[in-house]
A and B are shown apart, each in its own frame.
Chain A
Amino acid sequence: MMRWLFALLFLALPAKAAEEVVLGLSHDRVSITANFDGSEILIFGAIKRETAIPEGPPLQVIVSLSGPSKPETVRRKDRRFGIWVNTDSVEVDAAPSFYAVATSAPWSEAITEVEDLRHKISIPRAIRSVGAPMTVENAQAFSDAIIRIREDNGLYQLLENTVAVDQQTLFRTSIKMPANLVEGAYQTRIFLTREGRVINKFDTVIDVRKVGLERWLFSLSRSNPMIYGLLSLTIAILAGWGASTAFRMMRNG
């Protein structure tokens, strides 16, 4: 009986990896304030191992930071009656609002195609698109468009060779987040790879939140739009009245 229990316990415990990630973050939350102008996050850590560093090609580190995913509608413009009009549209099932992936080596050396497919690390893999309507030709172009548009806005970043690894033990990288961030839990993943194969994986979350006045206004506009609208109007009317009184007083006195 006892022996069975031990065996069960053993199975339940995760297999201990030979090399493990110990992670540090410069900050685990990003606050969007009124003067928010983007943020830079320093991700650093160490590789813990009980044994000597294995022989062969060196260890590589991949860090990915991903914003909340949601379905996106992508529209394509076409020329109709001489002007450019939105015509076809494709719903992409899930696309992260932000996605940065940093590697310690050129992409092809850091990870193999198969492992990328399994863990969904590269930018195109992070986007999921299945149900494009049959009427739209070349649905892939729509997913590509998301990547292109967001890369131009600094929202999707492929940062090759930007993770510094010292003595196959310490690593660090920094990721710039632009000002136009969406709120939510930002999934941070660290992969250790050898010869393109993932040997260890570590997950954590960075919280991105609007704070202070930004938070208050945003949530009021969603939860109580009526009051938000009335408040906007009150401020507008007070400002208009204040301005006219102020300038009348200036002219008179």
Chain B
Amino acid sequence: MQIFLPIAEVSVNLFLLLGAGTLVGILSGMFGVGGGFLITPLLFFMGISPAVAVATGANQIVASSFSGLLAHLRRKTVDLQMGTVLLIGGLVGAALGVMLFNYLRSLGQVDLLVRLCYVIFLGIIGTLMLIESINAIRKSRTGRTSKRHKHNWVHGLPLKMRFRTSGLYISVIPPILVGLAVGVLAAVMGVGGGFIMVPAMIYLLGMPTKVVIGTSLFQIIFVAAFTTMLHAVTNQTVDMPLAVLLLLGGVVGAQIGTVIGLRMKAEQLRILLALLVMLVGAKLGLELLLQPDELYSIAGVGGA
């Protein structure tokens, strides 16, 4: 059954959309990731223009992160103070990101920007994850544990602030910068940015692991909501039915994924996710490198 998407102005198979939503939901349940970085490329492959895919992706992230955040709030594993500082950076970043997005759109290069960002980030993240999980498996065999470094350059910066929930006393500059970077990515790539923020919070800011996910979800929701609004107002590219369909699949998939995730070993899961991320990145990268069948394109909906 085909469904006509009013903003994307294309007709897509309903079950394909629900299936994509479910698949990404399963993956996000299994690996505990938002899935935005998989949904947006999947939408490209379905023929939805990057401008609509990115804006709608941001809307979908709000929904999937919200149910996650509720769970973390109940368990009190959200550092609201740190979240707010990250958020300030994030909002500024998102505004800059949308400006950059619209500027490149007017030049006809937004397609390239979005794809390049995906290739670069998916490539880097995938490789890092693969290396780390292979190392982790090796270490668990030899029985050694690595120590987290306690002091680095982050602790020498001014404007220090106490974050009670995280038990930290650090400068607000690094969290603002982290938030800013994530905000730009959220606006340009239609992702939550958890895959950048979580490692940055653990390794750069030295936050305790148990509050990292909840706090990043807190920041992601507001940044994604802000990005959705910016895209809706400036580009009018948020496709509501598309977001709702992805969401329906995603919600069901996430529950299935959580069950699967509990039955597998963490390191194996990480290797699988790393391979998947690299695969999506490679597919997008190949499309940039190989000569396209059609060299010409008509600037369509969203001006891509």
Contacts and interface: CB of A to CB of B under 8 A. Distances in A.
B289 A86 contact: no
A240 B64 contact: yes
Contact of A76 (B4, B65, B116, B296): B296
B299 A179 contact: no
A218 interface: yes
A95 to B, nearest CB: 8
Nearest to A237: B66
A53 interface: no
A112 interface: no
A115 interface: no
Q: How large is the interface on B (under 10, 10 to 19, 20 to 34, 35 or more residues)?
A: 35 or more
A107 interface: no
Contacts of A142: 296
Main SS of chain A's interface residues? helix
Interface size classification for chain A: 35 or more
A243 interface: yes
A72 B232 contact: no
Given A73-B108, A180-B10, A217 B4 contact: no
B294 A149 contact: yes
Contact of A232 (B64, B240, B296, B298): B240
B94 to A, nearest CB: 13
Given A86-B297, A222-B236, A232 B4 contact: no
A82 B240 CA distance: 37
B304 to A, nearest CB: 9
Given A73-B108, A233-B228, A236-B247, A241 B288 contact: no
Interface of B: 1-4, 6-7, 9-11, 59-60, 62-68, 70-71, 108-109, 111-112, 116, 225, 228-229, 231-233, 236, 238, 240-241, 243-244, 247-248, 251, 254-255, 288-292, 294-299, 303
Interface of A: 32-38, 72-79, 82-86, 89, 141-142, 145-146, 148-150, 179-180, 182, 210, 213-215, 217-218, 221-222, 225-226, 228-233, 235-237, 239-241, 243-244, 247
